[in-house]
Amino acid sequence: MPFHTIDSAMPDDLIPQTPEMPALTGHERIAAYLRQLDSSPGVYRMLDAENRVLYVGKAKNLKARVSNYARPSGHSHRIARMIRETASMMFLTTRTETEALLLEQNLIKQLKPRYNVLLRDDKSFPNIIISAHRFPQIRKHRGARTDKGDYFGPFASAGAVNRTLNQLQKAFLLRSCTDSVFSSRTRPCLLHQIKRCSAPCVGLISEDDYADSVFDAARFLSGRTTKVQETLARQMQEASEAMEFERAAALRDRIKALTQVQTAQGINPRTVAEADIVALHMEGGQACVQVFFIRAHQNWGNHDFYPRLAGDDDPAEVMQAFLGQFYSDRDPPPLILASNGVDEPEVLMAALSEKARRRIDLVVPQRGEKAELVEGALRNARESLARRMSESAAQAKLLEGLAEKFELPGVPRRIEIYDNSHIMGTNAIGAFVVSGPNGFDKGQYRKFNIETAKPGDDFGMMKEVLTRRFTRLLKEDPDRESPAWPDLLLIDGGQGQVSAVYEVLAELGVHDIPMVGVAKGIDRDLGKEEFHRIGKRPMALPHNDPVLYFVQRLRDEAHRFAIGTHRAKRAKSLLANPLDEIPGVGATRKRALLQHFGSAKAVSRAALVDLKAVPGVSDTLAETIYGYFHEKG
């Protein structure tokens, strides 16, 4: 694993130190490193006998910090266990403690050590962008801010962005189409007909009037909602007095749309312009962190996170780990309002300020509107964790019932449910979803484009998917120590599919993973499923058995994921154009070729001399196009 800092180049003195160690154990082995350490700041890693990283930590003074682990007693149960498992250590020195913190959080996210607090949800959050264009486009944006334009966000979810965009289109009539579509329009699209766009593509609005709408939209997204609505209200009154009732009605609808945006936002604080509200609740060895995004005095949604705790963590440690990992690849706002403090707030804020290149403040408010905002987020965190723990308890009972009904060796912690999808063998895909003690784990879902199985051969497709899945798993973890190994396979199908899966695993030397085929009964009715296992007679479950409903839900989720993946692949294939694959053929030349020949098929049949006659197509490009289709043929 390469070592690097989050935000800057590696300092020259970040050199791993791996001395030859005698056969010592635990704190004695750790103590043997002390003579090679000094008081420099840096990052240390504790590794077990298999060279797996147990823990990543940072220190203002490496020697002083590591000496704490060298003590034979006085540790919590978790730390004592970690020390006992430590077989070796690695060290990276840094110039400053701030740099050490940035490096620590980056390594934690990369290595996912078992004794660190881990932020498991690593999603990016969407923004709204108003593009840099003569007639700017308004759209959702996710990822790095590389496109030119004005960004507003983040929003907590794609749904929050979509709802806001829907109302903004009604209010400001800004285009949402791509630049290529915009430049090729010859008449207004459907969005103009339903009053969602002012049709600048065909000149139905002047550039100045469109610029005014863009200015109002940016003002609204920047929090100056009152001024925008006052302006629209004045224009509506003027239109009404001038007996321009159609224009007045349109302005009324725009005001209504803006009001709906504000209503959907709920809390809109007066004294907080831009901040993240972060609230932590811990209970029963679990934690929930709620993050509310406040931008331009508006609530742009919230998201809950469930960091993986290492054991006897205290709230300050969990909060520090969460903030460090959460902002390691996100831009922090100027203000972070937290429900509780962290151990070293000045170091964390220095690190975030250095990353953002501006001052970042962490505040634990005690009174006023800020405290009320944090209390609201904390209430959400408590309720979310209570729901999750309740669902986990119910899930645990279902897993126990599943183990009992199918005579499994133990309660499964990871169930993989497999399904295939195709239409007459075309666009075939295989997929599996994952479920466990906390329900469906969507981050573990996987899809496979079928490459070798014959079209329509369901057995062959299932064999290919399982072969690829377990061949890779054996390569990555031959000792089967990672949680990626399933405890149960659910196969959509009967005895034939189960036998095919059994053959695949047997050839790979995997003999101890239970598998169950879920097949519809004789009448193919829901509730009359038959379950097939190797070496046992088919069985059924009572129609009112909770385990039956549980298995149906698992199978339906796999089917939903497989069908959705298949539809996306089919839609992409229907929209595919062979001209898109030819180097040098962009949107302009593609349009010229299609206008000249009428279709991509006609282009593929064209003679070289005819290709050279197309406006904008050079002799070299014509030869490239001709060669592409000639080789294809």
Residue-range domain boundaries for the chain: 26-111, 127-265, 274-385, 415-573, 578-632
pLDDT confidence band for 362 (50 / 70 / 90)? very high
Those residues whose C-beta lies under 8 Å from the C-beta of residue 17, and which sit 6 or more positions away, are 36, 90, 91
Lowest mean pLDDT among 108-117, 492-501, 515-524: 515-524
pLDDT of 111 > 50? The answer is: yes
Quote the percentage of the chain above a pLDDT of 90.
Answer: 22
pLDDT at 43: 92
d(CA 221, CA 214): 11
To the question of domain 578-632 being in CATH 3.40.50.10470, the answer is no
In angstroms, the Cα distances linking 590 to 582, 611, 628 are 10, 12, 14
pLDDT tens for residues 183-194?
Answer: 888 888 888 888
pLDDT of 314 > 90? The answer is: no
In angstroms, the Cα distances linking 204 to 177, 194, 264, 408 are 16, 15, 31, 68
Strand pairing partners for 88?
47
Strand pairing partners for 93?
42
To the question of domain 415-573 being in CATH 3.90.1150.10, the answer is no
Q: Which of 57, 38, 51 is nearest to 1 (CA)?
A: 51
274-385 and 415-573: identical CATH topology? yes
pLDDT tens for residues 169-179?
Answer: 877 888 988 88
Mean pLDDT of 3-31: 51
Enter the DSSP assignment of 313: -
Q: Is the peptide bond between 154 and the residue preceding it cis, with omega within 30 degrees of 0?
A: yes
pLDDT at 7: 34
Strand pairing partners for 361?
335
How far out from the chain centre does Cα 280 lie?
21
pLDDT at 525: 54
Instruction: Locate 483 and state its tokens.
Output: 């949680």
Those residues whose C-beta lies under 8 Å from the C-beta of residue 611, and which sit 6 or more positions away, are 603, 617, 622, 625, 626
Fold for 26-111, please state it: GIY-YIG endonuclease (3.40.1440)
pLDDT at 257: 65
pLDDT at 418: 93
Lowest mean pLDDT among 153-157, 321-325, 428-432, 542-546: 153-157
pLDDT tens for residues 274-310?
Answer: 889 999 999 878 899 999 888 877 777 788 888 888 7
CATH superfamily of the 274-385 domain = UvrC, RNAse H endonuclease domain (3.30.420.340)
d(CA 269, CA 221): 15
pLDDT at 485: 92
| Helices 207-221, 158-172: crossing angle, 10 deg rounding | 140
Contact 270, 370 (CB under 8 A): no
d(CA 448, CA 565): 9
Q: Rg (Cα) of the chain, in Å, rounded? A: 30
pLDDT at 426: 67
pLDDT at 18: 46
pLDDT tens for residues 565-577?
Answer: 877 777 666 556 7
Contact 48, 4 (CB under 8 A): no
pLDDT tens for residues 367-406?
Answer: 888 998 899 889 889 888 887 887 778 888 999 999 999 9
d(CA 112, CA 417): 26
pLDDT at 24: 62
d(CA 287, CA 309): 7
